[in-house]
Amino acid sequence: MEFSVKSGSPEKQRSACVVVGVFEPRRLSPVAEQLDKISDGYLSSLLRRGDLEGKPGQMLLLHQVPGVLSERVLLVGCGKERELDERQYKQIINKTITTLNETGSMEAVCFLTELHVKGRDTYWKVRQAVETTKAGLYSFDQFKTNKAEPRRPLRKLVFNVPTRRELTIGERAITHGLAVAKGVRICRDVANMPPNVCNPAYLASQARRLADAYDNISTKVIGEQEMAELGMNSYLAVARGSENEAMMAIIEYKGNGDAKPIVLVGKGLTFDSGGISIKPAEGMDEMKYDMGGAASVLGTMHALAQLQLPINVIGVLAGCENMPGGNAYRPGDILTTMSGQTVEVLNTDAEGRLVLCDALTYVDRYDPETVIDVATLTGACIIALGHHTSGLLANHNPLAHELLNASEQAGDRAWRLPLFDEYQEQLESPFADMTNLGGRPAGTITAAAFLSRFTKKYNWAHLDIAGTAWKSGKDKGSTGRPVPLLTQFLLNRAGVADVEDKE
């Protein structure tokens, strides 16, 4: 799929299709008015007849419009002009791309990027159009024997910007959008893999492949023998019930000499049965997505590599599988973590924090500037925030604000929850330094409170993506989140974030 930007009038476009907007009630956008003028009122006459109301997502494909050089004109309903917000804009783009892909228009010039979206500039509109297009065309059919493909799929999309001076802004937006889209695709592909394919060794192999592709990336993999030597007994305990060896892949990206690195740690439970505290059978197939954190870190590292940002970043994929077995760890066990702190296991299904705590201790050796862990950690986060918003907790206010700002910029939203000392009391154990479960109240917060005990030496944030990493039901599959948020955070840290469109 090829993307580009241009600045031109719609009547001069020679293309398979020109895409323009129509507002409610039956009101042409300024660009559509230009086409209406050269077609002697052809478009406005259709609207008067009631062919299109202009409601969000309505589509009307026209062929051989008088006076128009392009073969087709696609009229897109955009709702009420003053109510066009970012969510509706992305929905309109998605519906447009689906329509174009089904109508045989192999190329199109899209003028929807000229619409006024509340609070958003040209950079945002072009970048989101790229990301939304790529997401809308995504499919995971590697295991299907019959692959359905469009006869004449959309191959080229040109976004129009209002003025020539905004071409540079648009080009940068495409560059950033394509990098994010690639990261999202990698994340989705890896997360959607079945657990008999995507195990900890598979995750490690994906990390090695990334290092093979870029000179400034190196990868090392730590297996169970080295974990034992390091004292990562908590991580190893979770893996004991599985035939698949735990592997922690460390991807090191060098873009800025000896500068302190930003470290991203992803929970990589390639399958989580719950262990001896086994989960209910219904929906357990979705526990292949419990490595969504590691998949998003891998995707973000791909986006970073494509952008070649001038920063140092380390991505950690904490690969593991939680299974019941004769050697599985048990409720009641007391584990000594890599940090030396001890944990009483109350529930073997609260395993993600037991893997992450050792990984978070390990990364201290890199003297990190910042550490962010990403994990499908708690069902409680879904109860608190649903499936639209990731949970954010942090021990450093400026870092939390940076991530929230990046989430708004990227349209990949997060919401901060408190991490007050009072919540630590729920982790008290009569036999060890702490338990691995704080009870039902504030489950997302107590999970983060547990992790915070291992992150006192650096600025740290925790993203709970249990509700946002995948969808269930008929749309079952990985979402690729929070790759857009993390990539935006890195763009901001590198100082090459969005270019403001100041008119």
Question: How far, in Å, CA of 38 to CA of 85, rounded?
Answer: 30
205-218 pLDDT, tens digit each: 999 999 999 999 99
Is 285 annotated in a binding site? The answer is no
- Same domain, yes or no, for 199 and 246? yes
The model's confidence at residue 182, banded by pLDDT at 50, 70 and 90, is very high
- Same domain, yes or no, for 327 and 418? yes
pLDDT value at residue 104: 81
356-401 pLDDT, tens digit each: 999 999 999 999 999 999 999 999 999 999 999 999 999 999 999 9
Is 267 annotated in a binding site? The answer is yes
Average pLDDT over residues 263-272: 98
Report the DSSP pairing between strands 313-322 and 156-160.
unpaired
Residue at 434 is within a domain: yes
Sign of CA pseudo-dihedral 469, 472, 474, 476: positive
pLDDT at residue 115 tops 80: yes
Report the DSSP pairing between strands 27-28 and 17-23.
antiparallel
pLDDT value at residue 476: 95
279 flagged as catalytic: yes
Write down which residue in 163, 197, 216 finishes a domain.
163
Helix (H) or strand (E) holding 75: strand 72-77
pLDDT value at residue 501: 39
Q: Can you tell me whether residue 250 is helix, strand or coil?
A: strand
- Same domain, yes or no, for 146 and 205? no
Given 279, 330, 416, 471, which residue is catalytic? 279
Query: Tokens standing for 465?
Result: 């993506």
What CATH number did the domain enclosing 32 receive? 3.40.220.10
Residue at 173 is within a domain: no
The model's confidence at residue 150, banded by pLDDT at 50, 70 and 90, is low
Residue 80 lies in domain: 2-163
- Same domain, yes or no, for 37 and 92? yes
- Same domain, yes or no, for 282 and 134? no
- Same domain, yes or no, for 73 and 215? no
Question: How far, in Å, CA of 399 to CA of 393, rounded?
Answer: 10
- Same domain, yes or no, for 158 and 44? yes
Question: How far, in Å, CA of 480 to CA of 131, rounded?
Answer: 11
Given 90, 95, 288, 353, which residue is catalytic? 353
Is 408 annotated in a binding site? The answer is no
Write down which residue in 118, 136, 163 finishes a domain.
163
pLDDT value at residue 439: 96
- Same domain, yes or no, for 330 and 462? yes
Helix (H) or strand (E) holding 402: helix 397-410
Q: Can you tell me whether residue 390 is helix, strand or coil?
A: strand
Query: Tokens standing for 195?
Result: 């657990």
pLDDT value at residue 10: 79
The interaxial angle of helices 292-307 and 200-213, nearest 10 deg, is 0
Question: How far, in Å, CA of 271 to CA of 290, rounded?
Answer: 6
Residue at 371 is within a domain: yes
The model's confidence at residue 288, banded by pLDDT at 50, 70 and 90, is very high
Q: Which amino acid is it at 325?
A: G
**Lowest mean per-residue pLDDT among 42-51, 170-179, 348-357:** 42-51
pLDDT at residue 500 tops 50: no
Which residues have a Cβ under 8 Å from the Cβ of 227 and sit 6 or more positions away? 235, 236, 246, 248, 358
Residue at 175 is within a domain: no
Nearest C-alpha neighbor of 93 from the set 62, 123, 59: 59
Question: Which one is predicted more confidently, 498 or 239?
Answer: 239
pLDDT value at residue 16: 86
Residue at 373 is within a domain: yes
Residue at 194 is within a domain: yes
- Same domain, yes or no, for 83 and 150? yes
Q: How far is CA 487 from CA 4, 109, 304, 392, in A?
A: 21, 28, 7, 16
394-444 pLDDT, tens digit each: 999 999 999 999 999 999 999 999 999 999 999 999 999 999 999 999 999
- Same domain, yes or no, for 136 and 214? no
- Same domain, yes or no, for 199 and 85? no
What CATH number did the domain enclosing 282 receive? 3.40.630.10
- Same domain, yes or no, for 137 and 196? no
Residue at 174 is within a domain: no
Question: How far, in Å, CA of 391 to CA of 377, rounded?
Answer: 10
Write down which residue in 114, 138, 163 finishes a domain.
163
Residue at 115 is within a domain: yes
pTM of the predicted model, to two decimals?
Answer: 0.96
Number of independent structural domains in the chain: 2
pLDDT at residue 499 tops 60: no
pLDDT value at residue 498: 54
